[in-house]
Structure 1
Amino acid sequence: MTDFLKRERHGAVLLLTMDRGATRNALSDPDAIDALVDACAEINADMSVRAVVLTGAHGVFSSGGNLKTLSTAVGAGLGEPVQSRLAYRNGIQRVPLALCNLEVPTIAAVNGPAIGAGCDLACMCDIRIAADEARFAESFVKLGLTPGDGGAWLLPRVVGMSRACEMAFTGRSVDAAQALGMGLVSQVVEQGALLPAALALAQEIAQHSGHALRLTKRLLREGQHTRLDTLLELSAGFQALAHHTQEHATALDAFLDKPRG
């Protein structure tokens, strides 16, 4: 068990807190990557978890890559370029794959700076809520780099191509109000209200059928890149599964038993 990721259970909601002040919750260290990937695998296997909230400690969401070890861990310090390619594939790139394949709804509670891969990490989550002190930057270009962790795929899907290009080409940070205006986040709250707001939303989600939530999330993900007829066929199959769950039967009975005015 790593000390990077703290876990706290709130009923059917799991709160994950990145907690490494020395690196400002950098994501690129091997044990940090393992912690996030392992947590996703464990959540997928645990049907009692219906929603996840991801946040950071120490006043920062995530600083992205660990700049002190960047060259030796994934960069020119490894020697041949092919070694850097493998380091990315076997390292940080496991995180977007794990989070995008996480079956339950995820909420990023962005409590402070989300920089570089930290910004992309927020985009890997399904919903983003920001504290008024949060800021976001797709800042790779300022280091003469490109988004190596999937940001070029993630960010345009969240804010649109024009906004994504502006962020990626300038490396400028945007504050919480700007993030709200461009659709990067869906809510902005005061710092002290961030976790309560995120957990309240997660609890609202988690009251619903765990099977339905997981199937719905998969349909939304598939709908980003598949044809309508293919998605309709997948939807029919998923709906057939949902019709045969006890959760559906219970919810339907409760609805039909309600008095009609």
Structure 2
Amino acid sequence: MSIRTEVKGAAYWITIDNPKRKNAISNKMWTELCEAMEEADGMDEILLTVFTGAGEFYSSGNDFSPAEAAKADQSDLDYEAGYSRFMRRLIRHTKVIIGLVNGPSIGIACTTLGLFDYVVCSDLAYFSTPFPSIGFCPEGTASVVFARIMGTSNASEMMLFGEPISAAKALNHGLVSHVYPTAEFHQKAISLVEKFAKLPKHSVLASKELCRGQKWRREMLSIHNEEYDLLRKLTMDENTIHLIMQKFSKSKM
């Protein structure tokens, strides 16, 4: 399991590569994602930072296996979850962020899409935020951003009730810009990135900064901090611990 990176022209590709676990993101992989984001941001020749998944899933989100959970200590005030470190880098990222959602996108892998600049998906993708089933709250700034993208009622269906949406609904709700047939997705996605990578870098990045500059970043960081503070409290709640153990016990792995 790892995060694979590759530079192709003006595009920095980041691939979540843990197909045996539906591209669940481990603590080690969060660190690798942070390092990849920093590297892409520091490269003058890069215009686009591109995320996709290996295999059939985009990502099933955070790895909640017992081995990974044992590495976290939410009661330690100095502890910061890997996804939180990644969030700060995602919000501050200066390159154009593109999501190529090749399959199901769950939890933090889904909610962070609202921070991307451009997202397309395959017709077999679906988007799931199963927070109620594990006693969690929305994260990835989705508590605010999803309502702005798709409207309050549609966002509440996902955030409060944990209802997944299909690729078609994601397109209708404005979460993605295009839905491509799975058989064509890989080639369509590559062609799209190659097309955008040819645009004048200085102009596109200046436009991104105009749309998502320091005021936007301050707001998103504030939303993330509120979500993370609540999530830490919920993670230590006995009801949440019971739900997580029930759902992610070894017998169900």
TM-score interval, normalised by the smaller of the two chains: 0.7 to 0.9
C-alpha deviation, 1:39, in angstroms:
1.0
Name the SS for the 2:105 alignment partner: strand
Gap change, CA 1:138 and 1:203, over 3 Å in 2: same
The one-letter amino acid paired with 1:22 is K
Match of 1:22 among 10, 20, 23: 20
Q: Which residue pairs with 1:209 in the alignment? A: 200
The within-5 A match list for 1:167-182 is 167-182=158-173
Q: Do the aligned residues in 2 keep the contact of 1:96 with 1:124 (CA within 8 Å)?
A: no
1:113 lines up with 2:104 in the alignment:
yes
- Aligned-residue sequence identity (percent) comes to 27
Name the SS for the 1:82 alignment partner: coil
**Matched residues in 2 for 1:145 and 1:94: separation?**
18
- Gaps spanning 5+ residues in structure 2: where? 218-253
**Matched residues in 2 for 1:211 and 1:39: separation?**
22
The within-5 A match list for 1:34-45 is 34-45=31-42
**Matched residues in 1 for 2:164 and 2:212: separation?**
27
TM-score normalised to structure 1 length: 0.75
**Matched residues in 1 for 2:128 and 2:187: separation?**
25
The one-letter amino acid paired with 2:198 is Q
Name the SS for the 1:5 alignment partner: strand
**Matched residues in 2 for 1:73 and 1:162: separation?**
37
**Matched residues in 1 for 2:144 and 2:37: separation?**
20
The one-letter amino acid paired with 2:12 is L
The one-letter amino acid paired with 2:34 is V
Note the aligned Cα RMSD (angstroms).
2.2
Q: Deviations for 1:83-132, whole angstroms, at most 9, x for unmatched residues?
A: 2x644x34211112212222111211111110111102322321110100
**Matched residues in 1 for 2:153 and 2:78: separation?**
31
Q: Do the aligned residues in 1 keep the contact of 2:111 with 2:139 (CA within 8 Å)?
A: no
The within-5 A match list for 1:27-176 is 27=25, 29-69=26-66, 71-74=69-72, 78=73, 82-83=75-76, 86-87=78-79, 89-176=80-167
Runs of 4+ in 1 over 6 A off after TM superposition: none
C-alpha deviation, 1:71, in angstroms:
4.2
Q: Which structure exhibits the higher relative contact order, with contacts defined as CA atoms closer than 8 Å and separated by 6 or more residues?
A: 2
Q: Do the aligned residues in 1 keep the contact of 2:5 with 2:36 (CA within 8 Å)?
A: no
